[in-house]
Chains A and B, each alone.
Chain A
Amino acid sequence: MNAPQAFHPLARLLHWTMALLILAMLFVGVGMVTTVSEKHQWLLALHRPLGAAIFVLALIRIGVRLRFKPPALPADMPALMQFVAHASHWVLYGLMLAMPLIGWAMLSAGGYPIMLGHAWHLPPIAPANGVLFAWLREAHGYLAYLFFLTILGHMGAALFHALIRRDEVFPSMTVGFPHQDAPAEPSRNIAPDESGRAAEATPPSA
């Protein structure tokens, strides 16, 4: 089966939605821990439900990624560049899942109620323990910096593809090409979705 030229529209929608949410989340996080103003309260109240939303979206996104094969990197990309590209993507996926879980476990270990709104809360996923809290809280902070730096690198690399290499990588995640292949693992028990997708499927590439 030929690799598709571009990401599935759903993958693109998830990418750009989550890009905004995750950047907002990182700014909310770094802002709320360094201010004593009233902003601290509403940023904190935003941070928890936003983190939960990112976690759920990350799960959906990984499902989409496994179901719809992403386009291959250009064959003429140097091996090291390909390796960095793949590694950084797995770091990003890992952090999308790990950061909300660490935050959730950290609040659990601190004995805090994990409020997502005025009345809504999640159950604890770790025992109340101050030492565990400290490890998780520091991990949450340092991994947030790693997350931000990886995003900076990702953004720089995307622009490098768009402006310097001018290859198909950037358009494959924006509006460049239609997504053209069958799912990576076609399966019969998802027939309604299949037919739905067939309707929007486009002819094979030229």
Chain B
Amino acid sequence: MSDPSRKPPHLLWRWCAIGAAVALLAVAFAYVGGWLTPHRLTPQRIVDALQSGGVHPGFRRNHAKGVCVAGYFEGNGAASPYSKSIVFAAGRTPVVGRFALPGGNPYAPDGSVPIRSFALRFALANGQQWRTGMNSMPVFPVSTPEAFYEQLQASQPDPATGKPDPARIKAFFAAHPEAGAFLAWVKTAKPSASYATESYSALDAFYFIDAKGERHAVRWQVVPDAKDAAPGPAGDTDYLASDLRTRLAAGPQRWHLMVTLAAPGDPTNDATKVWPNDRTTIDAGTLVIESEQPQESGACRDINYDPTVLPDGIEVSDDPLLAARSAAYASSYLRRTSEEAKLPGAARADTSKQEQP
């Protein structure tokens, strides 16, 4: 037993051993937490790059300008042989959605970008959820989070001019030939006059899991019933919200959820590539949007449309963008809710510059 009156031999070495054990654990923790690798791409760095044009407290760091919508999805059973999720069975699932413009500026003119986005949260009867964030373009410009971060950096405002440097953007796209399909689409795309006339694609691939446990690689998009697509009016900066209000006052707006099944060999890990047109596509049901609410007070405000929140019967693919979206959305969500909560250290709204009520 111990004898406190007797000093243990090699006392210094004993203290060193204790210090080394504690330090080793602390260093391992610091390494995993990224403190020793400042060049590691973290969600926080992606969100920092997204908000380089200025912080708008309380708003999403990307797709900042938008509007909440609500309605339901009416499944028809056609996708049920491929996914066991109850969302695809015949019946209704309530949906809270959000239409938005890409970019971090909540006051961006509607005509400033040709892209619109549509996010959905399906609240399934079994308590599970399906969240998806879709865009009105057929492909994503890049296939990896690292390339996305490079793109964000290349398009950061030049401190001298306050605008992105065209030479840097050109150099980025020259170094990223995978963006070709996206650039070809952008060349002819016009900012639409309505959210309701656009198709929205999930871009990333996912797996449907059927009742036997078999995986089916899929992509999905929603295709509108409204066929009166037109370019947005010149001179008006906020036409999308008023157009949506007018349309919904006249009646619900409908989309069909089209699920495309991959053929063997179709890439699941590359959102820059479309799958060939002849792939089997299933009309899985109808999305019905019945109402809209301002994003400041609507039900979509506190929803993080993380595309990896999936019900039993849908799983993420090996697309590396999915994990990065999940991680970065979580970081953006924490920043904007911290600002709403006025937590210490969170950005505060600059009241002198507030442009919206």
List residues of A whose CB falls within 8 A of some B CB.
23, 26-27, 30-41, 44, 74, 76, 110-113, 115, 118-119, 121, 123, 128-135, 137-138, 148, 152, 155-156, 159-160, 163-168
Contacts and interface: CB of A to CB of B under 8 A. Distances in A.
Nearest to A115: B128
A36 B328 contact: yes
Given A34-B34, A130-B340, A137-B334, A168 B11 contact: no
A35 B42 contact: yes
A185 B334 CA distance: 46
B343 A155 contact: no
Contacts of A118: 312, 315
Given A37-B320, A40-B326, A134-B341, A163 B2 contact: no
B76 interface: no
A134 B8 contact: no
Given A115-B128, A168-B1, A135 B145 contact: no
The prevalent SS among residues of A at the interface is helix
Interface string B305-317: 0001100100110
Given A128-B302, A163-B18, A164-B11, A36 B33 contact: no
Interface of B: 1-4, 8, 11, 14-15, 17-18, 21-22, 25-26, 28-29, 32-34, 40-44, 46, 127-129, 145, 301-304, 308-309, 312, 315-316, 318, 320, 322-324, 326-328, 330-331, 333-334, 336-338, 340-341, 343, 346
A111 B303 contact: yes
B337 A164 contact: no
Given A34-B34, A156-B18, A130 B341 contact: yes
22 contacts: A31-B32, A33-B43, A33-B330, A34-B43, A35-B42, A35-B43, A36-B41, A36-B46, A37-B324, A40-B326, A40-B327, A41-B308, A41-B316, A41-B326, A113-B127, A133-B333, A133-B337, A137-B338, A159-B18, A159-B21, A164-B18, A166-B3
Contacts of A128: 302
Nearest to B315: A118
A36 B302 CA distance: 22
Contact of B334 (A26, A134, A155): A134
A118 B304 CA distance: 20
The residue among B33, B129, B309 with the most chain A CB atoms within 10 A of its own CB is B33
A39 B34 CA distance: 14
Given A41-B323, A152-B26, A76 B4 contact: yes
A166 B4 CA distance: 8
Contact of A138 (B14, B29, B309, B343): B343
A38 B341 contact: no
Given A30-B29, A110-B333, A133-B333, 4 more contacts: A30-B33, A34-B42, A40-B326, A130-B341
B334 A36 contact: no
B303 A123 contact: no
A38 B309 CA distance: 15
A134 B340 contact: yes
B126 to A, nearest CB: 8
CB-CB nearest 4 A-B residue pairs = A130-B302, A134-B337, A36-B324, A119-B312
Contacts of A23: 25
B94 to A, nearest CB: 13
Contacts of B44: 34
Contacts of A129: 302
Contact of A34 (B14, B40, B318): B40
A131 B341 contact: yes
A167 B4 contact: yes
A135 B343 contact: yes
Nearest to B325: A36
A166 B21 contact: no
Nearest to A148: B29
Contacts of B304: 110, 112
B2 A165 contact: yes
B4 to A, nearest CB: 6
Contacts of A44: 326
Given A34-B43, A36-B328, A156-B22, A163 B17 contact: yes
B21 A112 contact: no
A27 B27 CA distance: 11
Contact of B33 (A34, A110, A159): A34
A146 to B, nearest CB: 13
B123 to A, nearest CB: 9
A155 to B, nearest CB: 6
A160 B129 CA distance: 50
A167 B3 CA distance: 8
A147 to B, nearest CB: 11
A121 B26 contact: no
B323 A36 contact: yes
Contacts of A167: 1-2, 4
Nearest to B13: A163
B18 A160 contact: yes
A41 B32 contact: no
Given A36-B46, A36-B324, A121 B18 contact: no
